[in-house]
Chain A
């Protein structure tokens, strides 16, 4: 289904959805809201994009990172080589045509990686207190404050994990359904 209205609107709305989902995620740690609903809202943007442009386009635009690689030249140390590698990848659009022999490969962020990362962060947030000789999932609050957020404790970490997990699961379901 390709409509101009939807695909134009979604291009404008995607950043809005993203920012709002992060707002909900952060707000949730003292007020109603949180990781679950934030993850859902964050996934909406990609779901709409899939509806408008198809899942291949969504995966290509948002979840694929193209990496250019150059073989190391003989006179250059490893450090210089990696610095050059990073610089090349940051300014790739300008230089992509000019640079000589390049290998180009894609790093794809699959939804299942998001799920794994989310689960891992959520579990880690509970385990931190175990390592401090306290019961599992006891909230830990650091001393310092971040201006808008307040003190970022382990519940925020847990919410972040849930956020990623929910987003990964929704994307997995949507991409699978879109492929069918």
Chain B
């Protein structure tokens, strides 16, 4: 298969899927079939891309056959291929969940096309090699995310969506300013060309560093870094689980992906300014996120705050900035995409039965459904980083890199935050699973029809799928760790990327 097709397939398949969904507007069944086929093909294309990238190195295509610094380049290295791979798995799981876990009216009014467009946006962000094109893909993400969050139009959803869109528009404006600055300084928008120009001897770096702050703030908002995270817990818990699981699992990680890409390739990390800044930000993000989670009493809100906390770990790898630390970040991102989506899906399964997310009203799940409880336990322990599960390896790599680089305080912070993570997961465990179900109004008896029972059994399929992958990564971490180490080496060795894109 030609390289051009291989790189673009993860981007074109969701687009074609979304287009094919449109003629079946207001009929959910054909849309489901189209979306299902697309998800499977998307997974296959991502697998092929990962195989190609790991065997032959960086692959690229120049859109419209315009040569590199002038046209738009689409590039796939190991990091971006792995990101796409993880998002295809999550996309498939969320698709399976949506078959029974989403009400009919949302399905008929464009859930599937918008989900596919969102996935196209994620592929676009991961593949693009052009800084303005990157901005455009983030707009695609923003628009489809906006539609998905507001889909259904309940009051709480609209409120969350307004917050989300307002703050993200601001972020986009800052990004555009940053891109304008970079373009006026260097005269190029191609990431590889920018990386080359910035590394040329005699180039003036002070203004580029100022421009990098715009990107840090812009993507900081989009990926919910410490002072700019407040929109996330305010909006992510409002839409139905089939929507929020995908958004929560992926969107902030895409922001972090971009930060890692830009700050390893384009912006040279200033040891006196940016690195310490990132280090402080990552520590604060971890601590504030986890403290916020500890104070919440709503299943989804706790998980939303945990997203913020986990973002801190990913940023920590970038801030330590050794190959091992970045490999830790890459591994952590992959693991977190899967685990976070799985936890959201589990909260959806629980809520399907109890019709609420408030921990006070939940209870008794362990007796009724021990299998689900075990799946939750597995994901929660993995999130906290207990040894046999996938989270442990990510945290281990990050902590080891921190100790080797003598960043003792951040390592101590990250370990302490892990403890509080366990504490808030224990809270969910105690309240939702272990304690007996409180009688609401004394007389109201729970009536579970056989249909609902079957539906909730079906909802377990994607949860089991994701939990299986998490367990697999945890027990047999070697291939994923070696892949992330290779990805980190590619990221640190920028000449590989620059030469591949510029054909030198």
Residues of A participating in the B interface, judged by any CB pair closer than 8 Å: 110, 112-113, 115-116, 119-120, 123, 127, 129-130, 133-139
Contact = CB atoms under 8 A, between A and B. Distances in A.
A148 B23 CA distance: 34
A129 B63 CA distance: 10
B64 A123 contact: no
Given A110-B25, A130-B4, A136-B8, A123 B19 contact: yes
B64 A135 contact: yes
Contact of A123 (B5, B16, B61): B16
9 contacts: A112-B23, A112-B25, A113-B22, A116-B22, A133-B4, A134-B65, A135-B63, A136-B4, A136-B63
A13 to B, nearest CB: 31
Contacts of B61: 135-136
Contacts of B65: 129, 134-135, 138
B454 interface: no
A127 B64 CA distance: 11
Interface in B2-45: 2, 4-5, 8, 12, 15-16, 19, 22-23, 25
Q: Give the one of B61, B65, B74 with max A CB within 10 A.
A: B65
Contacts of B4: 130, 133-136
Contacts of A120: 19
Contacts of A133: 2, 4
B5 A137 contact: no
Contacts of B5: 130
Contact of A137 (B22, B23, B64): B64
Nearest to B15: A123
B59 to A, nearest CB: 12
Given A116-B19, A130-B4, A130-B8, A137 B63 contact: yes
Contacts of B16: 123
B62 interface: yes
* Secondary structure dominating the interface of A: helix
Contacts, number: 46
Contacts of B23: 112-113, 116
A119 B61 CA distance: 22
Contact of A112 (B8, B12, B22, B63): B22
Contacts of A113: 22-23
A10 to B, nearest CB: 29
A134 B15 CA distance: 20
Nearest to A138: B65
A109 to B, nearest CB: 11
Interface centre among A113, A116, A134, A136 (most CB of B within 10 A): A136
A136 B10 CA distance: 13
B117 to A, nearest CB: 11
Contacts of A134: 4, 65
B12 A127 contact: yes
Given A112-B22, A123-B12, A129-B65, 15 more contacts: A112-B23, A112-B25, A115-B22, A116-B22, A116-B23, A119-B22, A120-B19, A127-B12, A135-B65, A136-B8, A136-B61, A136-B63, A137-B63, A137-B64, A138-B65
B8 A119 contact: no
Contacts of A112: 22-23, 25
Contacts of A116: 19, 22-23
B374 to A, nearest CB: 44
- Would you list the 3 A-B pairs with minimal beta carbon distance, nearest first? A116-B22, A138-B65, A137-B64
A113 B23 CA distance: 6
Contacts of A127: 12
Nearest to A139: B64
Interface in B44-66: 61-65
A119 B19 CA distance: 7
B503 to A, nearest CB: 13
Nearest to A120: B19
A138 B74 CA distance: 14
Nearest to A110: B25
Nearest to B60: A135
A78 to B, nearest CB: 27
Contacts of B19: 116, 119-120, 123
Contacts of B64: 135-139
A138 B62 CA distance: 9
A101 to B, nearest CB: 30
A135 B74 CA distance: 10
Given A112-B22, A113-B23, A116-B22, A135 B62 contact: yes
Nearest to A137: B64
A171 to B, nearest CB: 14
A51 B63 CA distance: 42
Interface string B73-102: 010000000000000000000000000000
A97 to B, nearest CB: 34
Contacts of A137: 63-64
Nearest to A112: B25
Contacts of A110: 25
A105 to B, nearest CB: 17
A123 B19 CA distance: 9
Interface string B229-259: 0000000000000000000000000000000
Contacts of B8: 130, 136
B16 to A, nearest CB: 7
Nearest to A115: B22
Contacts of A136: 4, 8, 12, 61, 63-64, 74
A127 B63 CA distance: 11
A135 B19 CA distance: 22
A30 to B, nearest CB: 17
A129 B2 CA distance: 12
